[in-house]
Amino acid sequence: MTHPRDVLVGATAVAALPVCDHYCGVESRMVKSLQLQAQWSRRSAACLFDVTLDCEDGAPVGSEQVHAQRVCDLAAHTWEAASREAGPVLPRIAVRVHPVDHPAFASDVQIILGGAAPALCHVMLPKVESRHDVDHAVAAIDRAAAASGRETPVPVQVLIESPQALQQVADIVSHPRVQSASFGLMDFVSAHAGCIPASAMGMAAPGQTDELDQFHHPLVVRAKLEISAACHAYGKVASHCVVTEFKDASRVRTAARQASQAFGYARMWSIHPDQIQPILEAFAPPEAQVQQASAVICAGHAVQWAPVSVQGQLHDRASYRYFWQVLERAHQTAKLPAHDPAQVFFSKAQ
């Protein structure tokens, strides 16, 4: 079978990452988050969110190596246990290390990649300022990963957190090892010497339309759009920043919907378990669009991607490509019904 991914997007295909990336750094929360991921994976037969174990903000000052060893042990143990079970879905575990110019960066990489590289789906690099930073980090990651016996390169993701980094975002994102770029909202705002108000780090209350929050302050909006545009230009995944108002699921859902539909982001950070479900819901395509996408893709596949009429509308390669991406998003958010004929494109045999 000629797979839609190969025909319609081919070498330009963006990595099909889960739409939610959940961050945790305290040991008890890291354990619970990995348990939650396993529970959701068993229920959905798919890994719906990444769990990123955080060394940058999670490690107490002075205990960075102790924390890195904890992260290493937890990642390795979780991966080995899941591999022994031979279940249909393996965990997706990532790690955020310290910045490349931090004294703990080298020990983070040596300890975690040296001991648990096979368990990691990616490494998040914070405070990346240039392509040189990526080169430096990748060299250290590759050395440590090779020592641990990993045979495939470890993908890296980057955090754009300063005006300097934003000036070079296209150069950074175009690096062949960069898989995704995230926006570091808090650091970006604080890097402007008080010229951006604190309101831009949050989200305005419903009905408060005059507040310069993160979706309305011009400098913040510009940063989000430039990161998103660079990612789309180079076939990388744009990942939206955190929303700190985690107590109100409707506000998280609204923020995620804006990130996805207005700003072009395909992924978003979570910092509390209660944010995961609203993010999944907001990034999921509507049911009617999923049904339409399934009908179009199945019809196109049946005629080997020649033009075809579906429900009175003509479709060709351009619309096939669009609706294939809708189906991928539906699969990533567990919104493609188990009985849908398009499920065949997501079976392990494909």
pLDDT in tens, 298-312: 888 888 889 888 888
- Name the band, by pLDDT with cuts 50, 70 and 90, for residue 265: very high
Structure confidence by residue, pLDDT tens digits, 110-164: 999 999 999 999 999 999 999 999 999 999 999 999 998 899 999 999 999 999 9
Give me the pLDDT at residue 348, please. Answer: 58
Only one residue has tokens 């705002």, namely 189
Q: Are 238 and 228 in contact (CB under 8 A)?
A: yes
Question: For residues 36 and 273, is the Cβ–Cβ distance under 8 A?
Answer: yes
The H-assigned helical ranges of the chain are 4, 27-44, 64-85, 105-108, 114-116, 131-147, 163-167, 169-173, 185-190, 218-233, 249-261, 276-283, 287-302, 317-332
Measured CA to CA, the distance from residue 165 to residue 185 in angstroms comes to 13
pTM, whole model, 2 decimals?
Answer: 0.90
Number of alpha carbons in the 13 Å side-chain half-sphere of residue 309: 3
Half-sphere exposure of 349 (CA within 13 A, CB side): 4
- Could you tell me the residue ranges of all domains in the chain? 11-283, 287-346
| Interatomic CA distance for residues 157 and 239, integer angstroms | 10
Q: In CATH, what class is 11-283?
A: alpha beta
